[in-house]
Structure 1
Amino acid sequence: MKRWMRKGFVALVAVMTLGMYVPSIDIDAKVADQGKIEKEDSFKTTPLHLKSTIPYEGGLDYSSDGDAYVSDPVQWMADQAKEQTITKLGPKIYQKVEDEMEEVILPRIEEVIQQLTVELGEDRTRYLEVAETPSAGYGERIFNVQDGRTEEVLAKFHVRRDNRPGEGYWFNFHYHSYKDQFEEHYVIGDVYWDKNTPPKWMTS
């Protein structure tokens, strides 16, 4: 085939297929939106006396000095704890251990939060914050609970990877309390992973 015929054929095919494939033009918009969402989601603290971004059955009440606060702080904190814990584990891990998390670990975290609020009393409870974002990689931190006015940390919730000989990997959920200067590990529960090494925290 002569060279000019080959060029003509290529040009003809190009003209005939023009407009048959149009790439999606919202790709850049999605990337920009994801960046915006990540910035919005990366909060440092979420005070109980401010309106929650998580929907819950309760509403806001107002103190005598006019400050708004969450009317059901225990439920609000439980919702925040669940969100932070799921974020910490990441989709790859959470999908595999979801049943045990929902049945054992998350209810136990809620119990610990309930105990803390009873110890602190109603006046102080309404100023609690879920502080700190979960640590990625191999760090233990899930979240801290602190007094929003003084920034005093009252409880630290962590998860650790344990490689038990002959068994495999377990996730040890525990917390530390202000009452003993965060020395003791108070066990929330253990969740079995597998004999294979689990991925890093927050892995998609």
Structure 2
Amino acid sequence: MNKWLRKSLFVIISILTFGLVTPTQLMNSVNAETPVDQDVLEVPTSETNYVHLESYIEEDSDFDREEFVDELVKQAEEQSYQKFGSKIKPVIENEFRDIILPKIELAIAETAAQFPQEDLKNLTITEQPGAGMSEKIFNVKNRVTGKDILRFHVRRDHPPHAGYWFNFHYHTCFDHFQVHHELGSIYWDKNIPPKWMS
């Protein structure tokens, strides 16, 4: 019941504000200070792989929008843990699941609410997160047009005398990927974090 109410709230806020104010902007409460050091931005590759969700889109009559969004969120969580690797994941996994993942789910649900069913069925998630110093966690893309819809990133911030933070944010095609939509930040340590996927 709680999950149903939460998803209903996301859709209602999206509809009422017509995209002017996103629920993620309203619910953003965990932020690091202004970044000093930033990671390398995502570099597009020619060999991008995507998670295919055919089992959810075979028949129009069987298509369930909520189940499809749930599957996108599940794949997003898996890609995030793959990016963290075996060194970072155990340290930040609980905070990520409690603070960041619900906001990722909100962003995906809010975006999905803007697509008619025939277009929503074409959305898919990238399979390969960025390694090393790349910010890319995953993208949500229209596999027919090849265009990105959402780009989820994590940046390493190092504010003066404040240790290292992981700043989670996303970009959307609706503002031409120009705005950082904050999801929150998780503290790492005073020491430099290992590279992604290590």
TM-score normalised by length of structure 1: 0.69
Cα distance, 1:63 vs. partner? 2.4
Q: Which runs of 4+ in 1 moved over 4 A?
A: 68-71
Which secondary structure state, in structure 2, belongs to the residue aligned with residue 184 of structure 1?
Answer: coil
Whether the aligned pair in 2 keeps the contact of 1:140 and 1:158 (CA below 8 Å) is yes
* Residues matched between the structures, number: 151
Larger Cα Rg: Structure 1 or Structure 2? 1
Listed one character per residue, the Cα deviations across residues 65-102 of structure 1 (whole Å, up to 9, x for unaligned) are: xxx86761110000000000001111210100111111
2:103 pairs, out of 80, 100, 108, with 108
| Residue of structure 2 in register with 1:80 after alignment | 75
| Residue of structure 2 in register with 1:130 after alignment | 125
Instruction: Report the Cα distance in structure 1 between the residues aligned to 2:116 and 2:86, rounded to whole angstroms.
Output: 36
Paired AA for residue 169 in structure 1: Y
| Residue of structure 2 in register with 1:201 after alignment | 196
User: Does residue 59 of structure 2 align to residue 62 of structure 1?
Assistant: yes
Whether the aligned pair in 2 keeps the contact of 1:70 and 1:126 (CA below 8 Å) is no
Whether the aligned pair in 2 keeps the contact of 1:133 and 1:143 (CA below 8 Å) is yes
Describe the shift of the 1:137–1:131 C-alpha distance in structure 2 as closer, same or farther (beyond 3 A): same
Segment of structure 1 superposing worse, 146-155 or 77-86? 146-155
Equivalent pairs: percent with the same residue? 40
What is the CA RMSD across the aligned residues, in angstroms?
2.1
| Mapping for residues 7-26 of structure 1, pairs under 5 Å | none
Cα distance, 1:47 vs. partner? 2.6
Cα distance, 1:164 vs. partner? 1.1
Cα distance, 1:44 vs. partner? 0.7
1:142 pairs, out of 114, 137, 150, with 137
Instruction: Report the Cα distance in structure 2 between the residues aligned to 1:122 and 1:60, rounded to whole angstroms.
Output: 10
Instruction: Report the Cα distance in structure 2 between the residues aligned to 1:76 and 1:103, rounded to whole angstroms.
Output: 18
| Residue of structure 1 in register with 2:94 after alignment | 99
Unmatched runs of 5 consecutive residues or more in structure 1: 1-41, 52-58
Instruction: Report the Cα distance in structure 1 between the residues aligned to 2:87 and 2:64, rounded to whole angstroms.
Output: 32
Listed one character per residue, the Cα deviations across residues 129-167 of structure 1 (whole Å, up to 9, x for unaligned) are: 102511100000011111111111111000000011111
Unmatched runs of 5 consecutive residues or more in structure 2: 1-46
Segment of structure 1 superposing worse, 135-144 or 121-130? 121-130
Q: Which has the higher contact order (CA 8 A, sep 6+)?
A: 2
Which secondary structure state, in structure 2, belongs to the residue aligned with residue 120 of structure 1?
Answer: coil
Describe the shift of the 1:182–1:132 C-alpha distance in structure 2 as closer, same or farther (beyond 3 A): farther
| Residue of structure 2 in register with 1:46 after alignment | 51
